[in-house]
């Protein structure tokens, strides 16, 4: 759990420092954070905070109107949807809810934008 917590802290820092430059790696970030959304007695509080922080930061980056054309070009939506769909079979309800929220967020921020471009 300590190694996981350290890795998530690094991911959080990379997302905060590099901003939209991490978007091409969004699918890999999801692979790292989505399984950690399960809240249980064994999880480390710092890990939960990091995961929630990374998740919120990624959502802000995806919905950023500042770089919307660049964001659309940087994200491989097909692969991200493949990654997200794998987590529907995950045991954690929190992970499944996060996947649904992400799919909705991507549809609203990318598919709707693409229609208006």
Query: What pLDDT is recorded for position 105?
Result: 93
Of 76, 42, 74, 36, the C-alpha closest to 54 is: 36
> How far is Cα 87 from Cα 83, in angstroms, rounded to an integer?
7
Query: What pLDDT is recorded for position 102?
Result: 95
Distances (CA, A) of 83 to 31, 43, 86: 7, 23, 5
- Using the predicted structure, report yes or no on whether residue 72 has a pLDDT greater than 90: no
Query: What pLDDT is recorded for position 112?
Result: 66
**% of the chain at pLDDT higher than 90:** 50
pTM of this structure: 0.83
The band of 109, judged by pLDDT with boundaries at 50, 70 and 90, is confident
């Amino acid at each position: 759990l300590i190694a996981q917590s350290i890795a998530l802290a690094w991911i959080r820092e990379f997302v905060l420092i590099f901003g939209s430059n991490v978007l091409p790696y969004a699918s890999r970030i999801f692979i790292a954070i989505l399984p950690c959304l399960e809240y249980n007695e064994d999880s480390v509080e710092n890990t939960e905070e990091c995961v929630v922080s990374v998740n919120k930061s990624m959502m802000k980056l995806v919905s950023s109107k500042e770089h919307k054309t660049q964001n659309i070009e940087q994200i491989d939506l097909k692969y991200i949807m493949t990654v997200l769909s794998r987590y529907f079979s995950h045991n954690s309800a929190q992970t499944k809810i996060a996947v649904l929220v992400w799919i909705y967020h991507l549809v609203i921020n990318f598919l709707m934008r693409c229609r208006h471009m």
